[in-house]
């Protein structure tokens, strides 16, 4: 009843397809979950220690709104070292409460009522919601396995209207695992320039790639000035619970993000910023260990699913496999529900990730090798009955 007090833009939001499903999973026993989009690893010890030390040292206060200058410097150095793009830590970097907050900030800062953001889908479930919450319109452009789940530049361009403000890209992609090639990114860059659009590039999984290069969108010629680069610590460093991320971009845009951030979040948690700083200083070797383990699991699950008659695109990054399940004759919601009920394996229906996800399910391989082997055995039983 009291729901009538809520604003229309909130009641109009669909509940996340992932949450709905996992509320059911939480009530069941002996489920192997391939549904969770976060590392199964605990944050590497030196990073945890840095967080503890910060608290023990009495660093229990706010930091500056944009984040500790030391951390902003380290983020700028990290990006320069990896991608050769130079940002000024004093005006072009903001530390956020994860990429989640950065998405909220960038949409709120950029969008006037009714302005459109083009989003290649399937994509991370928050993208459309963040656009809608900021008063904008999310325009989905589906991607296809034939194109390795990269948006077709001509389709992207065809979606542009006089109200289009930005393109929101996410790669390595959640849920497909797609990594954009330099060539496709260059074509997107050309379109952004031609139509004077901002590109918001969510590169949260940038260090989790397998035998392919991650090309930072801001590193493409001319793109630094129209790109807001989003990244963070959650996935690369197994730090989801710390809630630390960042946005980098031209000063004029970042200034807008800082203004909203200072009135809403104030700053990211101080101890998490200290932990993030340690991640940038000493975390690389742990990232590499985790990446190698994800790669081993990736090979197991992709070849396993293909063998069982569920055609699966070879993901170049992140930690998701995205098999096509249409051979079973079921839609993705029914497949996920039956697989859970009959074999106690949880996967996420592809349609939860927007247009183009229908007929697929997302299987996260951020779970142990042994559990993945058992999940494949259970899926094999399932496919014997339904394949």
Ligand X SMILES: Cc1ncc(COP(=O)(O)O)c(C=O)c1O
Residue whose CB is less far from ligand X, 21 or 124: 124
- Cβ atoms of residues 372 and 301 within 8 Å: yes
Q: How far is the CB of 99 from ligand X (least distance, A)?
A: 4
Q: Residue 146 has what DSSP assignment?
A: G
State the nearest-atom distance from the C-beta of 91 to ligand X, in Å.
22
Which residues are CB-neighbours of 308 under 8 A, at least 6 positions away?
376, 379, 380, 383, 387
Query: Is beta strand 345-346 parallel, antiparallel or unpaired with respect to 32-33?
Result: parallel
Residue nearest ligand X, Cβ-based: 98
In angstroms, the CA 62 to CA 279 distance is 20
Residue 288 has a CB neighbour count (10 Å cut-off) of 11
Closer residue to ligand X in complex, CB, 276/379: 276
User: What is the smallest separation between the CB atom of 317 and ligand X, expressed in angstroms?
Assistant: 11
Cβ nearer to ligand X, comparing 96 with 270: 96
Binding site for ligand X (CB under 6 A): 37, 98-100, 124, 170, 174, 202, 204, 232, 234, 240, 245
Q: Please, what is the minimum distance in Å from the beta carbon of residue 96 to ligand X? A: 8
Comparing CB distances to ligand X, the nearer of 128 and 234 is: 234
Question: In whole angstroms, how large is the CA radius of gyration of the chain?
Answer: 21
- Nearest approach, Cβ of 118 to ligand X (angstroms)? 16
Least distance (Å) between residue 70 CB and ligand X = 20
For the bound state, the minimum distance from the C-beta of residue 239 to ligand X, rounded and expressed in Å, comes to 8
Nearer to ligand X, 100 or 128 (CB): 100
361-364 β-sheet, strand order: 320-321, 361-364, 348-349
Closer residue to ligand X (CB): 199 or 204: 204
Dihedral of the alpha carbons of 114, 117, 123, 124, in degrees to the nearest 10: -70
Contacts of 150 (CB under 8 A, 6+ apart): 120, 143, 178, 180, 181, 184
Nearest-angstrom CA–CA distance, 136 and 209: 32
Given the complex with ligand X, which of 39 and 250 has the nearer CB atom? 39
Per the CB < 8 A criterion, the answer to whether 189 and 151 are in contact is: no
Expressed in angstroms, the distance from the first to the final Cα of the chain is: 45
Which is nearer to ligand X, 87 or 237 (by Cβ)? 237
Least separation in angstroms between CB 296 and ligand X = 21
Nearest to 175 by CA among 124, 236, 232, 212: 124
């Amino acid at each position: 009843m009291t729901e009538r007090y809520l604003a229309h833009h909130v009641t109009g939001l669909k509940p996340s397809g992932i949450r709905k499903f996992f509320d059911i999973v939480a009530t069941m026993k002996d489920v192997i979950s391939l549904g969770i989009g976060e590392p199964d690893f605990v944050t590497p010890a030196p990073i945890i220690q840095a967080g503890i030390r910060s608290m023990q040292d009495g660093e229990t206060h706010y930091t500056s709104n944009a984040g500790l200058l030391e951390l902003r410097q380290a983020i700028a150095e990290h990006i320069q070292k990896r991608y050769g793009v130079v940002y000024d830590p004093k005006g072009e970097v903001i530390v956020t409460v994860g990429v989640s907050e950065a998405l909220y900030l960038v949409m709120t800062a950029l969008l006037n009522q009714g302005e459109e953001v083009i989003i290649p889908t399937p994509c991370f479930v928050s993208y459309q919601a963040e656009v809608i919450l900021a008063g904008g319109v999310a325009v989905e452009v589906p991607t296809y396995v034939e194109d390795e789940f990269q948006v077709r530049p001509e389709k992207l361009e065809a979606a542009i209207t006089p109200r289009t403000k930005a393109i929101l890209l996410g790669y390595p992609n959640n849920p497909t695992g797609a990594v954009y090639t330099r060539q496709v990114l260059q074509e997107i860059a050309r379109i952004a320039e031609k139509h004077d659009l901002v590109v918001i590039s969510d590169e949260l999984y940038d260090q989790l790639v397998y035998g392919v290069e991650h090309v930072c969108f801001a590193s493409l010629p001319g793109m630094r000035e129209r790109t807001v680069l989003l990244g963070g610590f959650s996935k690369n460093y197994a730090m989801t619970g710390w809630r630390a991320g960042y946005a980098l971009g031209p000063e004029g845009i970042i200034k807008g993000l800082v203004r909203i951030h200072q009135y809403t979040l104030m700053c990211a948690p101080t101890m998490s910023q200290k932990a993030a700083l340690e991640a940038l200083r000493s975390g690389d070797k742990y990232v590499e260990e985790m990446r190698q383990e994800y790669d081993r699991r990736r090979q197991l699950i992709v070849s396993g699913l293909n063998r069982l008659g569920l055609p699966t695109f070879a993901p170049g990054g992140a930690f998701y496999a995205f098999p096509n399940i249409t051979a079973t004759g079921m839609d993705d919601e029914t497949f996920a529900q039956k697989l859970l009920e009959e074999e106690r394996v949880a996967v996420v229906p592809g349609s939860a990730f927007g247009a183009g996800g229908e007929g697929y399910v997302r299987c996260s391989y951020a779970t142990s090798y042994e559990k993945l082997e058992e999940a494949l055995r259970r899926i094999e039983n399932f496919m014997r009955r339904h394949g």
